[in-house]
Amino acid sequence: SLFNLSALQFLSFEMNQLTRHLPKDAGRFLLNHKELYLGANNFDGLFPPHFSNATSLQILTAEDNKFSGPIPLELGSLTQLRRLCLWGNMFTNAPGSRELSILTSFTKCRM
């Protein structure tokens, strides 16, 4: 799997018109990843909770896709994460919901 690259620190798929949903275990093996860019594609389905395994992740962008469902609570365990961009998707979280409480530690967050 492309997401099974444990030594990789930077990965960008931005603006490639990629489609379909990401594998459920996407991010499971990204232990040393610092930056992951998934924005401006056509990814759909649920946002994979296994991105929370990338404990060194500092930047995660997945804006302007077609992700749906709730933002995974697991993202709250990414203590190094400083930038999270998820705007332009179809997430179902309501303002003030428990899932959105994970956003308090980020210095830059665009929903």
pLDDT digits (tens, 9 = 90+) for 11-52: 788 888 889 888 777 766 777 889 999 999 999 999 988 888
User: Per the domain annotation, does 3 fall within a domain?
Assistant: no
For residues 94 and 3, the model is more confident at 94
In this predicted structure, what is the pLDDT of residue 16? 86
Does residue 74 sit within a domain?
yes
% of the chain surpassing 70 pLDDT: 75
State the Cα angle at 80 between 13 and 89, rounded to 5°: 45
- How much is the pLDDT for 68? 95
Which structural domain, as residue segments, surrounds residue 51?
A: 10-110
**Distance of CA 9 to CAs 3, 27, 91, 98, 101, Å?**
12, 12, 27, 30, 27
Q: Is residue 93 domain-resident?
A: yes
pTM, two decimals, is 0.78
Q: Does 4 fall in a domain?
A: no
Q: How many residues does the chain have?
A: 111
Pairwise CA distance, residues 92 & 97, whole Å: 10
We report the CATH number of the domain holding residue 89 as 3.80.10.10
In this structure, is the dihedral angle defined by the CA atoms of residues 76, 68, 24 and 14, taken in order, positive or negative? negative
